[in-house]
Amino acid sequence: MKFSKHFWLRLFLGYSALGWGVCLAGVFVSHETMLELLRFFGGVDASGLGDPIYDYWFRMASSVFGLVGIVYLVLAANPAKYAVALPWAGIFMVAEGIVLFVHGILLDLPPTPWLGDVGFCLVGGVGILVAMRGLSD
């Protein structure tokens, strides 16, 4: 079975849309659930996060990440129409993966969750960049 370039490109764009888009759920969870998510994903001791500014920042990050996911979903729906944006979509993911990798190391964080985030970004970004090559053929 042979898959087209559009299949692979849409797969990596959809993967990116899902990975970023799932964060939209964070906008709507309760404060208690937010604290549990921070504990689960980041191993954060959330007991000191009672200040409302942390809740605000969590919602802000969740909504921005979710909106990034929507952009990738739009690209996945019609990659030919948005071909000019595809290199930027791939570069964005790779650049974010590099930023997360560097800061995970510099901050001496435990590997969970930052290595998963790095992997997500690099797989999505490199996948997009490779799959879009020769798309006009």
Mean pLDDT of the chain: 91
What is the per-residue pLDDT for 3? 73
Residue that has been written with the tokens 């800061």 in this structure: 103
Burial label for 124, CB within 10 Å (0-12, 13-18, 19+), is buried
Q: Does the pLDDT of residue 24 top 80, yes or no?
A: yes
Q: For 32-71, what is each residue's pLDDT tens digit?
A: 898 888 888 777 777 777 788 888 999 999 999 999 999 9
**8 Å CB contact between 128 and 19:** no
> SS3 of 40, please?
helix
Extract the tokens encoding 48.
Answer: 């000191």
**8 Å CB contact between 121 and 93:** yes
How far apart, in Å, are the Cα atoms of 75 and each of 1, 64, 88, 104? 25, 17, 11, 29
Q: For 72-89, what is each residue's pLDDT tens digit?
A: 999 999 999 999 999 999
Whether the model clears a pTM of 0.85, i.e. scores above it, the answer is: yes
Give 3-state DSSP helix, strand, coil % of the chain, rounded to 5.
Answer: 80, 0, 20
Q: What is the mean pLDDT of residues 1-18?
A: 89
**8 Å CB contact between 135 and 83:** yes
